[in-house]
Structure 1
Amino acid sequence: MWTVYSMLRTCLNLNKNVDISKYHKLQAFLKRNFTGYQPKKSKILDDYQINKFLNEANDQCYLGIKVIFIMGYSGAMRRDELTQMVIDDIQFKEDSIHVQIPKTKNNVSRLFVITKQTWISIIQKYVALRPFNVTSKRFFLTYRNGRCITNPIGINKIGLVPRVIAQFLQLPNPGLYTGHCFRRFSATHLADCGGDLLTIKRHGGWKLSAVAEGYVETSLLNKVAVSNLLSSNSTVTGPHTSATAFTFSIQRCKQK
């Protein structure tokens, strides 16, 4: 209903010069119907599952999928951002790879860096297979039987990559792993590692704090840290002490 309302609001405002955002009864009606609604979100993978896939999957069949995952996870990228990525957006340094994302949904350019050497080796292996006669500058080309062909990978194919990974790992309900899995997994993992709200917003390119806060709320590590803080017998006497105790609780969760 919110989607239909948004489309009607834009069309009426442009064509009829009528602003229905000032219709307070309509706003109240939509909010009442929104009560109890649970949006469907893509399931995410964990570190063990990803490491298992990257280590056990055969490069002869899954090299392209590995590179798509590494890029999508490292930059919290949407599937359309992965589709539009071109070879000029990637710079290979001595010990890292710098990736620029010039075209995003909210027109906020982002830059991310890949420093893990095993991941760099996988990307370099994929780039080395790029045909010399390819006319498209798109970075992701179709990978078949150990070689790349000149056809770029489409957005729907990239959106199916999380499902393919889930099928390889024999996870239940692989269809629940959608193209948004990379972005959710990256932001949630960053929150689990202790990333603050500003870091998460910069990483994903979100302008609104409410969107980034959703990933912090789903962070299991933060919930465990809060539980440890609440169940602690120590007396917290001030805001600085509270922040110190929460930071210590996070570190203790990471060690466990």
Structure 2
Amino acid sequence: MFFDDGSAGAGTVEETVRVAGVLTETLERAGWKVNVEKSCLVPSQKPTILGFVLDLVHGRILENLEASSIWDQGCWKELQEVAEGEGLVSLSERAKDLVMETHASSTVKTYKSAFSRWKSWAMEHGFVAIPATPVAVGLYLIHLVETSASASPISAALSAIKWAHQKACVQLPVNAMVEQIAAAAKRRLACTPRRKEPLNKKQVATIVGQLAGSDDCLKLRTAVMFAIGFAGFMRWDDLARIRVRDIVFRRDYMEVRLDKHKNDQLREGSLVLISTQPGELGAVALTQRLIEETNLQADDHLLSNLVKAKSGWKTKKGSLQYSRARELFLEAVAVAGLQAEMFGLHSLQSGGTTAAAAAKVPQRLLKRHGGWHSEAVNSYIKESLDNMLLPSSAVSWH
């Protein structure tokens, strides 16, 4: 026999603790066993009972945050009922997995996080998170405007709420009021983006020379990051995914296989060719040296986490994290006498693209090398002063 869903309370925290103790002791003396793991013996003004949250301060019954699921709504609820009746539950579960693939996994993760914050706020203020009302969403956006330093949280919240409602197959909680609040929020919190400056060939040569001139393999790894990022027009995401098996050394160049480019809309991946330069400071020579001196294996990331051991260098699981790579980048830039705040990891890709464009490399080759399938390549090129003056010089009448 089981006794379930009981509750007790009192006027103060101390009295409630005493009542809980007396109740527990009485049940145990009567021969009942209290399941402590499933019980809440700590006083709360928002306890959860029978799937609902009781707001004892304001006298309200709130939605249970955990019970608010996109799969409990609209067509999914109907699908679940039909599937259970026909013995097709596994198919209905696979349907949920399939519809999640309409967006990249990283995007879904971002949406889930933003939607979770919305659910918490909605529960706290007595609103239903899904299906939500435009009024509730509008108030939430106003809350974000007053507590945010940029427009990003507002955009993220609205996108996540729309995404969840679309997945749940219920009406979107967006009307003219919500759209105007979102537009006004973006306008009020808008900030002018500060694009990082591209590194030029001379700056990269100085930085790589300083790093590669050391016997420290950690500095050599940073030198490789600069060299390949610049010569291969690569983002940090591209660099972080490179494994030793993705690299093939040829007589006059090396091939770097990228299974996925962030700017590769067709998801075909690409083969980046980097030519061999004279001397020991080229991207190809530095890459070979790093692999040999750290004894990297085929499955190791090229920019692996390295640990010094008695027998030499050992790799830890995974590649460098973005935050650490950024620290190493800025440190190397500062040591070279440059203003670190003007540059970022993005300066490698934009710097290499700008240098190639200045050397009159055809745009079709720039796009192929960098993995672009659109004219977006132009946004990575910083025109030189001479090029900027060409239009007016061409029409000069003197």
| Length-normalised TM-score, structure 1 | 0.72
Are 2:167 and 1:14 aligned?
A: yes
Partner of 2:293: 129
1:70 aligns with 2:233: no
Question: What amino acid sits opposite 1:43 in the alignment?
Answer: E
- Kindly indicate whether the alpha-carbon contact (under 8 Å) linking 2:258 and 2:271 is maintained by their aligned counterparts in 1: yes
Pick closer, same or farther for the CA change 1:48–1:87 going to 2, 3 Å.
same
For 1:148 and 1:231, locate their aligned partners in 2 and report how far apart those are by CA, in whole Å. Answer: 62
* Stretches of structure 2 lacking an aligned partner (at least 5 in a row): 1-150
Please give the alpha-carbon distance, in whole angstroms, between the structure 2 residues aligned to 1:26 and 1:40: 27
- Corresponding letter in the other structure for 1:114: I
Pick the aligned partner of 2:249 from 92, 98, 119. 92
Residue 54, structure 1, aligned to residue 208, structure 2 = yes
Give the whole-Å Cα distance in 2 for the aligned partners of 1:192 and 1:224: 14
Q: Aligned partners of 2:184 and 2:373: how far apart in 1?
A: 24
Normalising by structure 2, we get a TM-score of: 0.49
Q: Which of 269, 274, 278 is the aligned partner of 1:117?
A: 278
Cα 1:168–1:88 shift into 2, 3 Å: same
Q: Check the 8 A contact 1:96/1:113 in 2, yes or no.
A: yes
Instruction: Tell me the matched-pair count.
Output: 228
Identity %: 18
1:171 equivalent among 338, 341, 344: 338
Q: Deviations over 1:126-150 (max 9, x none)?
A: 1111337x685222234578x6432
Match status 1:187 vs 2:356: no
Q: Is residue 26 from structure 1 mapped to residue 179 from structure 2 by the alignment?
A: yes
Residue 212 of structure 1: aligned partner:
377
Q: For 2:329 and 2:187, locate their aligned partners in 1 and report how far apart those are by CA, in whole Å.
A: 32
Larger radius of gyration: 2
Query: In the aligned structure 2, how far is the partner of 1:7 from the partner of 1:112?
Result: 35
RMSD between superposed Cα atoms in Å? 3.4
In structure 2, distance between residues paired with 1:55 and 1:73: 14
User: Retained in 1: the 8 A contact 2:294–2:313?
Assistant: yes
Gap runs ≥5 in structure 1: 234-256
1:54-105 deviation per Cα after TM superposition (whole angstroms, max 9, x unaligned) = 3344332321111111111122212122112111110011121111111222
User: What is the SS of the residue equivalent to 2:215?
Assistant: helix
Match of 1:229 in 2: 394
Q: CA deviation at 1:225?
A: 3.1
Higher relative contact order (CA 8 A, sep 6+): 1
